[in-house]
Structure 1
């Protein structure tokens, strides 16, 4: 069996796990066997060379549509398509959990949960009177129009759980049509870089005619001086930048800016909610520190020339392991001057803290299982089995929360064979 990384348990005790990296190696082998360059294959499939490069290096998986096209092009007799879909699906095996009374809980598997997520999101897709898909709402149970940001979140979630539930390409075309010179506006006032970062990330997950250079330019144009005071905005933008091009000047700039937002707390440099002049008694933030760790580990997976990044991630991870505060969600108030100078623009951002803690711990060099399991327990507390999605404490169903949960659970599934990956107390029947 092949371990997921040095010092960690294998993903499954029964079989070798198919990963995005494995898909990339096979795709590269097939392309070279066909005697084609990346540019030639990309042109035939109808994507950019940057897309193909990211598939071959394991950064993203091809969408179901593109996987089928690649399989047909290379005459792989469904083998490549099956490999992609296997890598996209989380592990089927989930061992039973034993409760306090010694009773075995036969929970549904993580794969079944993900199937439910895909089906439920497909049901909640908003369409016009002609049946054309328009996107998703930010809060899935409110009667509000779909937004660019929530649609990007929906596309990314469907890619993670397997996008066979619907055709994502009309949604991708819709996102392309709503692009402006500053990227994408997901909010009514001003430029908010997390919107452009989320859209660019979603487009590259599915396959896009947008080049990596264009994506980086849009990310850079979406930033403003306010962004440098907020670890959330910097980390979100950096996460997309490092996936597009880890050695780009913008990537280095964002790394430096993110590291600069740390403050010293009891001899440790950690991330607060914000770093701006005039702060009174700031405190380290679990959500922001965990999010920063996740993106810094992404940097380290792609390059080894930043010892300052490794030191920052290791120091923050140790604090996260030792920290005893609950990993519940928190809200952040973002308020900045309007571009026209007329007052301020204000939005409230919510963070699914436990999901980011799970991701941060799952990428640690030495996996801290007890702390990981505690964060997973908090994550599952927000799972609404009736809705098949994750819910905020108020009962809202924000689409971003399900994306964060699915991302975290996939990360945990790749890190360890048997954490509590199933929702406690659910039926053992397949949805």
Structure 2
């Protein structure tokens, strides 16, 4: 691609930042430029360089996004970051939340695994900072619908998917100062929801011991069975890379694995899927089918205020439980100090068995011989030799 020296192609990180600042997903950029989503991902990670007619269209799009960002900065929106431009979220303390941007990156397309397009991610207009509750509600409205669908593909259980997402957002609300300052709050919530959904302790819960009704469509049922036959780590890695659309380093970081290990999991998972469903050997077809399977289920999450109230109620419960346990521990310690001895008393040694001593016998009637001896002893005046008295010399 021929480029002017005055307008070189931005580096890969700047390309992604411009796309996120313009509230565009990789799928939307691919549609405008006329390439596949994988090509856009390769351009943004530096694995490939734009060239030809598509490269020129991509460069024109980046220029347009750069000019739009400069216009927003000149109009007084310099305090609104690119994440705020995509999500419209900034707390009263000035902390930034990358809500819509991180979600768009995580979902990679306006499809079954993407954020809720009907939600208003812009919130109040720039210049009117949001309260923490409003910022949380905006993040929840944009991320929760897609995250429930993703978690359903991860577990195959509708109720567990909804519970996992709500529990993740409850934890996020309890730690909102930390989440609000996180560079990727949507990724933070997604990782928490995935960890809860894949917990092995769910198998001991009575409500999750029996399987749920499978999807009605035969192809959807087969794809879900193939996904559930994968190991949890392979399933999670495949969903993040081919379903959500994360890059390989981001997928490895979120799954807490090395990049080669994440790549091996993806290859093994793709091979397992292609073995049973040869039509999904192409990653683009696999991404499309995952989105269709997620969209086929009518999965809904609770309202954001209800989730916030649930998080606050759970936090109050555990706080009171911790206070009660502390009070009980203090009382037990005080009682122990009150009743404990003030000096050392050696313990009584255990008894030992003495051998060779005949057992005591009860006294019985005297025999004739014993009676004669007793009478003789009583009749004699002295019971032994005469006593010796000292005499002077």
TM-score (normalizing by structure 1): 0.27
> Whose strand proportion is higher, 1 or 2?
1
**In terms of Rg, which structure is larger?**
2
Task: Flag the structure with more relative contact order, 1 or 2, with Cα contacts below 8 A and sequence separation at least 6.
Answer: 1
